[in-house]
Structure 1
Amino acid sequence: MDKIAVLDFGGQYAHLIANRVRRLNVYSEILDPETKAEDLKDYKGIIFSGGPESVYDANSPKADDAILNLGVPILGICYGHQLLAHMQGAEVKHEPDSREYGLAEVEVKKAEGLFAGLDSKEQVWMSHGDSVMELPPGYEVIGSTRSGEWAALANFEKNFYGTQFHLEVTHTEHGMKMLENFLDLCQVKREWSIEKFIEEEIEVVKKKVQDKKVFMLVSGGVDSTVAFVLLDKALGSDRVYGLFVDTGLLRKNERQQVEESLKGAGFENLHVADASEMYFQALNGIYDPEAKRKIIGDLFLKVQANVSEELGLNPDDWLLGQGTIYPDTIESGGTRHAAVIKTHHNRVARIEELLKQGKLIEPLAQLYKDEVRAVGEKLGLSKSLVWRHPFPGPGLGVRCLCAQEEKYPHNHTLLENKINEELKEKGLQAYILPIQSVGVQGDFRTYRNPLVIHGDVSFDEMDAIATDVINRNDELNRVLWMCYPSKIEEMNVQKVFMTRERVELLQEADAVVNDFIVEKGLLQDIWQFPTVLIPLSINREFGEAIVLRPVQSTEAMTASFYKMNMDLVSELTERLMKVEGITGVFYDVTNKPPGTIEWE
C-alpha cells in the first residue's frame, strides 16, 4: 500500500495531518523527526509537521539532511516550513510584528503545484511566532499575508513546498484541496478507509489482550462508548466489563442518562460507583488547574482498584480499557517534542506507567473525534449516542474555576488603558479580568488573563477584534463579550475551590444552557457548549459569573466560537440570571488557538 510519512516535530496538529491524509484515502504513518533518510525511501512523500521549538535553538528537533536527496515531494507546515527553508540556507527569525494566531488571509501569488486551483485570496489558520525571512535557493514565493511576505514557498523543480499556515486544520478553507494537490504530486494510490481501521484494530485488540479480560472506564461520552463497543465486538461481552464512576462532577442527571443510554444500546455488564465524596475531599483546597486534572485522573484508577477488589477480580487477569483519543495525548505532551497544554485525566503518570507495562488498552488512541464518530456509526451505534456533545472526562471539574487571589498582568492598568484607547472609536469598553485560563499559542500552553469587551458590536466584528487584540498583547489569551450587566463597576474575586455547592450551581446553569439549545434547535449547529463557572462577582460583594463557550469544530484541535443570534443570547442570559448566585454572564469569542475549548 502506498504511504505518506509525517515527521512529528511536536506540533499540536502533527497527528491531524495524518488524519487528513487518511481522510483522502491514503495510508499515513507518524514517524520520529530524526528518522534516517534510508528508512524513508519507501514512502511516496514526506510531510514535516509543526512544532513548539525554534529552528535556531541548539536543542530543537532536526531532520536528516539526506531526506532532501530522496527525490520525493516534501511539504513543510509551520515549524516544518521554517525547518525546510533553514535546512537549505534561509534565515528564520522571531519577529514580534510577524507573529499570527488565528485566521489570516493569504494572497496567492502562483496557483500552481500545491496551490493549483485556488482563488487569488485564501482564508488560512496561523499559529506562529517565528518566520522565514528570505527565500532558499531555487524557491519562489507562492503566497503572502499582511504580516508575512514568505507565508508560502515552492521549489517547483524538486516538488518542495512550505506553508507558514496550518493547511491541515478545518479553518484553512481550502486546506484539504492543498493537501490533495500534494498527494497528487506524490502520485499515491487511494486505498485507506475507516472499515480497514476497524478490521485491523480488532486484530490488534485480540493480539494485545490475548486470554485476558478488559475492565473499561466508561464515562457515557462518545469516546468511551465507541471504545466499549469496539472492545465488545473484538472480545465478546463476557470479556469486557464497564465501570462508570460518578465523580460528583457530572452534568445534572448525567448518571441516570448514561445508565439508560448504555442499557438501551444493549450493554448490561456495567457497574456504577458513587465516588463523589472521595473526589470532593481530594479537591478540597486545590486551586491549580493542572493539579485538579491530575487528582481527578489518579482517583479514576483508585476507584477502579477498589471496585476490582470488591468484585474479587484478579488484577493479573485484567487490562484497563480507556476511550482515549489522540487530542488527549497531544495536549498532554504525548509525543517526544510536544509541549504540555493540559494533562488529560487519561494521561496522568499512573496511566502512563500502565501503558509502559502493557496493562492498558486504548483502541481509539490514534483517532480524532470525527473518526471516532465514523467508527461508532459503522459499528451500529445510534445517532443520538454518536453525535451527542463531547463532555470532558474530568467533567465539570475543568469548568468550575477556583481562585486563591486576584491575578492581574503586572502592567494591567497600562494595558487596559491602551486597549481602551484603541477600542474607543468603535464605542467599546474593555476590562481585564483578575483570573486566568488555559490557552494554546504556537504549540505551547499559556495561562493568562481574559479580556472582556462591552458595547454594541456584532460577533463578526468581535471575531476580528479578538484575534487582533490577542495577537498584539502577550498578556491575554481570551476575549469575552459582556452579556450582563451593562457595565462593570466592581469585580470581586471569590477565594474558593471545588465544593459540592459550587458544582451544583454550575449544574443548574449548565442545565439551563442545554435545555435552551435543545428547545431552540441549536444542538446540531454547535459542536460543544461548555458552561463555565468563574469565581468572580460582578457589581456585588458575593456571587459568581458564567461564561458561555459554544464552539464549532470537527476534531477539537482547532475551533471557532459559535456566533449565536443576538436575540437568543439575550434570552439565554435572562434565564441564567434567574439562577440564584449568578451575578454576570459573558460570551467567549475566542477561537482555538489561542484559547483551548475548555477553560482548564
Structure 2
Amino acid sequence: MNDTRYLLIQIRDFDDPIRLQEISCFADALQSTPESITVFDLLSMRLEASHLAEFDMVMIGGSGRYSVTSNAPWMKHAMVSLQRLLESGKPTFASCWGFQSLARAAGGKVIHDLPHAELGTSLVTLTDAGKLDPIFSQLPESFEAYMGHEDRVIELPPGTTLLASTEAVAQQAFRFDGCPIYCTQFHPELTLPTLLSRVEAYPEYCERIAQVPFDVFRRQCQAAPHCETLLRLFQEHFLA
C-alpha cells in the first residue's frame, strides 16, 4: 500500500448504489485503501484551491445519473470548479464523466449520442501520439477497456492531444499538453466483476444501450487487464 493522498471528485447522489463502490474501485486500482481517499461532492460544493492543497492526486469518475451536457445551475458551478482544477496543474486522472467534463470545462464539445453509446468492453487503439506517450506507450497498440457512456466528446479542447480511439468513438483518451492531467472515456478503475456489478445496479443502461438481457450482456464482456494498469502507470510517472 502507498501513502499518497487522493481526492476523488464525485458526482453521485447519496443513495446512488455505486457511490461507495467507486471509492473502493479507485483504491484497488491504485493499490491503496479507501481510507486514503477523500471524497469531494461536486453536486453540493464548489472546489477552491484550498481543497486541493493537501492532496497529491485528484481523480474524477462516473456520475450515474448526471449528464455533462446539462445546463442546470449545478453544472454551471461544476464547470467553474473544474476550471480551477485545471488551473492548479494538480496531477489528475479523469474517467468517463470526468473525461467529458474536463473536456467541456477547457473548451471542448460534448453531446448526448445514444447511437454511439458504449457499454461493456470495447477494443481501444492508440493513436500515433498515444504510441509515443510516456504512459500509454506502455500498453499494447490495441487493448480491451471497460465502457459505460451515452454522452461523448466530439471536439477536444485546445492544448490537448488525442491518445486513443475506438471504432464507435474517436475521442477515447487525451492528455492536457504540459500538464499532468489525463482523461479517458473508458474506466481504468474497474475490473470485470466491478463493471458487471455496476451495470447490474443500473439495469436501464443494459436495456437502453446493450439492448440485451443482463445474462446475455455478461457473456459478451471480457476482462481488460491492460486497461486496469493505467492508473498505476499514471501514478508511477507523475508521483514517483
Specify if TM > 0.5: yes
| d(CA) in 2 for partners of 1:4, 1:66 | 17
Change (3 A) 1:24 1:117: farther
Deviation at 1:21, TM superposition (A): 5.0
Q: Deviations over 1:332-354 (max 9, x none)?
A: xxxxxxxxx8xxxxxxxxxxxxx
Structure 1 gap segments, 5+ residues each: 173-326, 332-340, 342-437, 450-469, 481-559, 562-588, 593-600
| d(CA) in 2 for partners of 1:108, 1:447 | 27
| d(CA) in 1 for partners of 2:188, 2:203 | 21
Give the counterpart of 1:48 among 60, 67, 70: 60
Deviation at 1:472, TM superposition (A): 5.3
| d(CA) in 2 for partners of 1:36, 1:139 | 24
2:86 counterpart of 1:68:
yes
Match of 1:57 in 2: 70
2:173 counterpart of 1:152:
yes
| d(CA) in 1 for partners of 2:220, 2:215 | 6
The answer to whether the Cα contact below 8 Å between 1:140 and 1:154 also exists between their aligned partners in 2 is yes
| d(CA) in 2 for partners of 1:591, 1:113 | 29
| d(CA) in 2 for partners of 1:163, 1:90 | 14
TM-score by length of structure 1 reads 0.30
Equivalent position amino acid for 2:214 in 1:
R
- Give the secondary structure class of the aligned counterpart of 2:7: strand
| d(CA) in 1 for partners of 2:71, 2:63 | 15
Count residues in correspondence. 199
| d(CA) in 2 for partners of 1:5, 1:448 | 30
TM-score by length of structure 2 reads 0.71
- Aligned positions of 1:8-47 closer than 5 A: 8-10=10-12, 12=18, 14-21=22-29, 23-24=31-32, 27-33=36-42, 34=45, 35-47=47-59
| d(CA) in 2 for partners of 1:117, 1:447 | 32
Match of 2:140 in 1: 119
Deviation at 1:139, TM superposition (A): 0.6
Equivalent position amino acid for 1:36 in 2:
E
| d(CA) in 2 for partners of 1:92, 1:447 | 19
Match of 1:303 in 2: none
| d(CA) in 1 for partners of 2:24, 2:7 | 13
The answer to whether the Cα contact below 8 Å between 2:29 and 2:190 also exists between their aligned partners in 1 is no
- Give the secondary structure class of the aligned counterpart of 1:133: strand
Equivalent position amino acid for 1:98 in 2:
H
The answer to whether the Cα contact below 8 Å between 1:22 and 1:28 also exists between their aligned partners in 2 is no
Q: Deviations over 1:9-28 (max 9, x none)?
A: 12835313432255257932
Equivalent position amino acid for 1:15 in 2:
I
| d(CA) in 2 for partners of 1:105, 1:90 | 24
The answer to whether the Cα contact below 8 Å between 1:478 and 1:590 also exists between their aligned partners in 2 is no
- Give the secondary structure class of the aligned counterpart of 2:38: strand
| d(CA) in 2 for partners of 1:148, 1:590 | 19
Match of 2:149 in 1: 128
- Aligned positions of 1:70-469 closer than 5 A: 70-109=88-127, 110-111=130-131, 112-171=133-192, 439-440=200-201, 444-446=202-204
Change (3 A) 1:117 1:138: same
- Give the secondary structure class of the aligned counterpart of 1:161: strand
| d(CA) in 2 for partners of 1:19, 1:88 | 27
Larger Rg: 1
Change (3 A) 1:95 1:159: same
The answer to whether the Cα contact below 8 Å between 1:46 and 1:74 also exists between their aligned partners in 2 is yes
Deviation at 1:96, TM superposition (A): 2.1
Match of 2:7 in 1: 5
Aligned-pair RMSD on alpha carbons?
Answer: 3.1
- Give the secondary structure class of the aligned counterpart of 2:104: helix
Equivalent position amino acid for 1:71 in 2:
G
Q: Deviations over 1:520-564 (max 9, x none)?
A: xxxxxxxxxxxxxxxxxxxxxxxxxxxxxxxxxxxxxxxx95xxx
Percent of pairs with identical residues: 22
Q: Deviations over 1:435-468 (max 9, x none)?
A: xxx944xxx442987xxxxxxxxxxxxxxxxxxx
